[in-house]
Every structure is written in structure tokens, then in C-alpha cells.
Structure 1
């Protein structure tokens, strides 16, 4: 396995990240992506988990509802474990639901 391109951000607090995402206009990809891209996949997953624990809602679903089609796929890829995303994409390509 290669070296990850995005390393964990040493200054990370999941609550601060989801608070920042909630304060931005979530329909503006120019504000959402810079926030998300500062953190590793594992840290992004922690943000989703912390948000769900606090609010009982799925932050990823809320982001997907607000963003246009192209960024939706990118957000989905960025906020999903790589192996899980690969399986979902393979199933879609094979026409398996």
C-alpha cells in the first residue's frame, strides 16, 4: 500500500469541523471542499460519526442533498471509506443493487 496523499491533520476536533460545515452555506462547494480536504479519510469519518451522535442525523446525506450532481459524487467519495466506496462503485457498474 502506498503513502497516503492526505495525512491526518494534527489540529483536529470533529466538533469544530462539523460546526464549521454547518455554519457555511453547504450548497456552496467552494466553501465545503476546502474544509473537507484539510482532513484525512479517517478524520472525515470521525466528523460524520460525531455529527450523528450529537444530532442524530447523517451529515453526508445532508451535504449530498444540498450540492449539485458533480460535487455529490466527489463528496460521497471523500466521505466514505475507500474500500466501501470501491464496492459501491463496482456494484453500480455491474448493475447490482
Structure 2
């Protein structure tokens, strides 16, 4: 499970590192993270590195996207009070598709 937390933090951190902390950078992060089609390949690459069964990465990413959407969450919400909830969603999805 520690790998899942590292994955989640790394995924968010990679966007911040690329775009930066400027207002324009935050807007770019928000737009890209809210675009499921743009995020899915990145998510799959990250999940493949930490998932017990890397072949299930697409299903894990779909699960996370669906759960975040159903709860009204965006990846940028992880910078605030919703981090714990988003981490629980991530862990649940990994567990669900780990076999």
C-alpha cells in the first residue's frame, strides 16, 4: 500500500514540477488533470510501476477516474483537505484490481 501512496503523490508532483506554481501553471494543471483522456496514459504509466498486477493498470485508472468523478473530486483537490479521501479511493481501486 505504501507504493500506492507514493504513486499518487508522484503523479500529482510530476504535474507540479512540469508546470510550476504560477497562476498560469496551476490553471494548466487543472485543465490537464480534469481531462480524463489526457490523464489516462499518464495514469497507466504510473500505475504499471507500482501495481501488483501491471496489466490491470487501465482498469485501476478507470476505477479512480469514475470514483473521483462520482465524488466531485479533481486531482488538484489532493493539494487540500481531500487528500485522504483521494488516497483511500486510489488504494481501493488498486486492491479491487490487484488480482
**TM-score, scaled relative to structure 2:** 0.27
Higher relative CO (Cα under 8 Å, sequence separation at least 6) belongs to: 2
- Compare CA radii of gyration and give the structure with the larger one: 1
